[in-house]
Amino acid sequence: MIDNENIYYSSCRLCARECGVDRTRVNGGCGVGSELLVARASLHAWEEPPISGTRGSGTIFFSGCSLGCSFCQNREISGGRVGKTVTTDRLADIMLELEGRGAHNINLVTPTHYVPSIIRAIDRARGLGLTLPIVYNTSSIDTPDTLRMLEGYVDIYLADYKYNTEKTAQALTRVKNYTAAARLAIAEMVRQRPTPTIEDGLMKSGVIVRLLLLPAHVAEAKLSVKYLYETYGDSIIMSLMSQYTPMEGVAAPLDRPVTAAEYDELVAYALRKGVKNAYIQEDGAARESFIPPFDLTGV
């Protein structure tokens, strides 16, 4: 239970950037202050099959992001430019409303910089009858301490592993230590939820690690598969994603979609490594239907 979330925001070290900014006064490295900014809350059909199920995942998109990828597909919200300020009580109500609409789970998207407030909201929602699993949908820039705060609150970790080398991470993000931080974060997630559990086609517990293949970055993605499989084997589920969508103004080689040949090469490599617990995407996944309108729906 969190009694006063401002203790955490007043010298913020929730993400691996550990900027130490007093977010109760100014914006932190994540681009936002201490007040919850939510850009959208809706049923989402485009997550992995055991997350979206047949009725959709109850996604809550938070504004702000600590990573700052140069090719970001959610620029409207990652920079904190779009979003409505809500209280923790309102956030709890949003969770209950999504459950009432038939959501299979509550899916918290880019939540790292709001963890103390989210915990308060979950406590309230549970007290009011929320029964759905909680999905923590993160870029994996979380510190282990932040993730330990979530133990017992989060049922499913839906984690990115974006870059396997710091050289690539530094070239494409604002973070100097992404790979090391993500490895520590994923290790803590797996410690908390070490076994994927799927019942009647829906995930109840465990860790899914997403690898978004970037154009001309197949070698990097292979290294990611190698690291994850050799470290965790079948105790995680990998999600090999081909849906990269180039945004306006992005420089080459990221100014084009991933080719079928590039994605096939990555999938073939994963199969050769022996990966069995994995999801792959069909041809044509790189389309903007994966990017919902951040129009304050459901907020």
Return the number of other C-beta atoms located less than 10 Å from residue 292's C-beta: 17
Find, among 259, 173, 165, 157, the residue nearest to 209 by Cα. Answer: 157
Q: What is the pLDDT of residue 3?
A: 78
Domain layout of the chain by residue ranges: 36-290
Give 138 or 247, the one with higher predicted confidence.
138
Find, among 96, 30, 93, the residue nearest to 67 by Cα. Answer: 30
Q: What is the pLDDT of residue 200?
A: 97
Percent of the chain with pLDDT over 90: 88
Domain covering 36-290 assigned CATH 3.40.50.200 in the classification:
no
Whether the pLDDT of residue 286 is over 70: the answer is no
pLDDT per position as a tens digit, 203-234 = 999 999 999 999 999 999 999 999 999 999 99
Instruction: Determine the Cα angle at 47 with ends 45 and 51, to 5°.
Output: 95
Give the largest Cα separation in the chain, rounded.
52
User: Mean pLDDT across the stretch 1-14?
Assistant: 91
User: Mean pLDDT across the stretch 95-106?
Assistant: 98
Using an 8 Å Cβ cutoff, are 229 and 271 in contact? Answer: no
User: Mean pLDDT across the stretch 36-40?
Assistant: 97
Most confident of 171-180, 226-235, 246-255: 226-235
User: Which residues on adjacent β-strands are paired with residue 212?
Assistant: 241
**pTM of the full structure:** 0.96
